[in-house]
Amino acid sequence: MDISAEGKISRRSVLANGAMIAAGLAVAPLAARAQSKASQADTTRAITGRDSLKAHAAHHGLLAGTAVNARALATQPEYARVLAEQYDIVVAENAMKWGPLRPTPDTFFFTDADALMAFAAEHKMKVRGHNLCWHSQLPTWFNSTATKENAQHLLVNHITTVAGRYRGKIEAWDVVNEAVQVSDGRPDGLRNGPWMKLLGPEYIDIAFRTARQADPHALLTYNDYGVENDSDDAGKKRAAVLALMRGMKARKTPLDALGIQSHIHAGGSFGSGIRDFMASARDLGLKIFLTEMDVNSSNLTDNDIAHVDQAVAATYRDYLTTTLAEPAVAAMLTWGFTDRYTWLGGGRRGQQPSHPQRPLPFDANYQPTDAFFAIRDAFDHRQTRQA
């Protein structure tokens, strides 16, 4: 991956390097596999400085990052310390979304977003912007205010204001988030969300063109989930996302990168589906970011935390071995870095939790988990496929 003199990922250079079967799986085989692989892995248990995630990532042309919880950053010194120690790219978990940014139709609340930008500048971190257009987390006033007549102005004004405020300081913007929902039944596989209802599919091009004008320096990214595993549904979603991106390229809509959220479940392995999907994105000239990775263990039935940790670590290792082999992958971010603030609450959805979620590289007490060492090991063993 070419990084220009000022340390920015140049848009033209595309260097860099794939699935999960979310099924209830016995943990033992996974744990055994993780244990045996761990013994072959880098056994350095030190984690700071040259042993940090960002240091190991940088050796292999990668940025290592995480989503940031605004309140934790503002109130927890240990949170801020580990964040600065381990990562060189960050993204606001919520602070740059419509809901938190827009308390009223006429006002913006930038305090939390500005605090993240200031922290990143102080620690020479890059920033991903998330996100300029989404069907979720819209402000409470949106449904009663937005109409077919004013929706384009609302969207253009929001993007111009937000992306314009941070012009030149954002490495990549998630311009449109999660626009594909095949189960909504549209022939194009797009989600029938608020923006679709108000503006039709053109909202996507409007968003990307406006973002390019507001910040010509940022890598404009389409970000989505559910494309990682080898299920039929994921295959359908990959096809629809590719069709969307190919259409954008054909219309010369500015698009520089694909974000693969990578919210995956423990267990299983990753096949040709994600591999071919990423190669197709590369063929469109796109960079690829793994934007929101975590490993949900709610499908595991084991109550032994050590076994759960090993299964989660094995999943990180398997998924990253496949996806980091794609040369177009430029960054890997987890969705948070400590279990203390994971968005994945409790245990199995809707049932009495069988065990606490352990989805991230640090536990609730900021101690590195097996996942930390699996991630770092995957960075170290990155072998990119021929581009």
Q: Which is nearer to ligand G3I, 123 or 135 (CB)?
A: 135
301 touches ligand G3I (CB under 6 A)? no
**Catalytic residue among 93, 171, 228, 292, which?**
292
Phi-psi region of 168 (alpha: psi -120 to 50; beta: other; left: phi over 0): left
Q: In angstroms, rounded to a whole number, what is the distance separating the alpha carbons of residues 71 and 93?
A: 11
Q: Which is nearer to ligand G3I, 94 or 310 (CB)?
A: 94
298 touches ligand G3I (CB under 6 A)? no
Q: In angstroms, rounded to a whole number, what is the distance separating the alpha carbons of residues 152 and 142?
A: 13
Question: Least distance to ligand G3I from the beta carbon of 42, Å?
Answer: 30
**SS3 for 289?**
strand
Tell me which amino acid residue 229 is.
N
Q: Which is nearer to ligand G3I, 177 or 310 (CB)?
A: 177
Question: Least distance to ligand G3I from the beta carbon of 92, Å?
Answer: 9
**Catalytic residue among 171, 178, 228, 326, which?**
178
Q: Is 178 an active-site residue? A: yes
256 touches ligand G3I (CB under 6 A)? no
| Cα dist from 158 to 91, 96, 202, 368, whole Å | 19, 11, 17, 39
DSSP state of 61: T
Q: Which is nearer to ligand G3I, 37 or 97 (CB)?
A: 97
Per-residue string for binding with ligand G3I, 177-196, x by CB under 6 A? x-------------------
Candidates 108, 110, 142, 343: give the one binding ligand G3I (CB under 6 A): 343
Q: Which is nearer to ligand G3I, 86 or 342 (CB)?
A: 342
94 touches ligand G3I (CB under 6 A)? yes
93 touches ligand G3I (CB under 6 A)? yes
Burial 100-115, CB ≥16 within 10 A → b, else e: bbbeeeeeeebebbeb
Question: Least distance to ligand G3I from the beta carbon of 344, Å?
Answer: 8
292 touches ligand G3I (CB under 6 A)? yes
261 touches ligand G3I (CB under 6 A)? yes
Q: In angstroms, rounded to a whole number, what is the distance separating the alpha carbons of residues 43 and 48?
A: 14
Residues in binding contact with ligand G3I, number by CB under 6 A: 9
Torsion of CA 20, 294, 175, 321, to 10 degrees: -60
Per-residue string for binding with ligand G3I, 22-61, x by CB under 6 A? ----------------------------------------
Q: Which is nearer to ligand G3I, 229 or 261 (CB)?
A: 261
Q: Which is nearer to ligand G3I, 66 or 210 (CB)?
A: 66
Write out the binding residues for ligand G3I, residues 202-241 only, by CB under 6 A: 225
Write out the binding residues for ligand G3I, residues 119-138 only, by CB under 6 A: 136-137
Secondary-structure percent of the chain, ordered helix, strand, coil, rounded to 5 = 40, 15, 45
Question: Least distance to ligand G3I from the beta carbon of 134, Å?
Answer: 7
Per-residue string for binding with ligand G3I, 137-156, x by CB under 6 A? x-------------------
Question: Least distance to ligand G3I from the beta carbon of 382, Å?
Answer: 25
Q: Are 337 and 362 in contact (CB under 8 A)?
A: yes
Q: In angstroms, rounded to a whole number, what is the distance separating the alpha carbons of residues 244 and 315?
A: 29
Give the list of residues 6+ apart from residue 132 with CB closer than 8 angstroms, or none. Answer: 158, 159, 162, 163, 173, 174, 175, 176, 207, 211
Q: Are 176 and 133 in contact (CB under 8 A)?
A: yes
Which pair of tokens denotes residue 264?
Answer: 């995956």
Q: In angstroms, rounded to a whole number, what is the distance separating the alpha carbons of residues 352 and 359?
A: 18
The residues assigned a catalytic role are 178, 292
Binding site for ligand G3I (CB under 6 A): 93-94, 136-137, 177, 225, 261, 292, 343
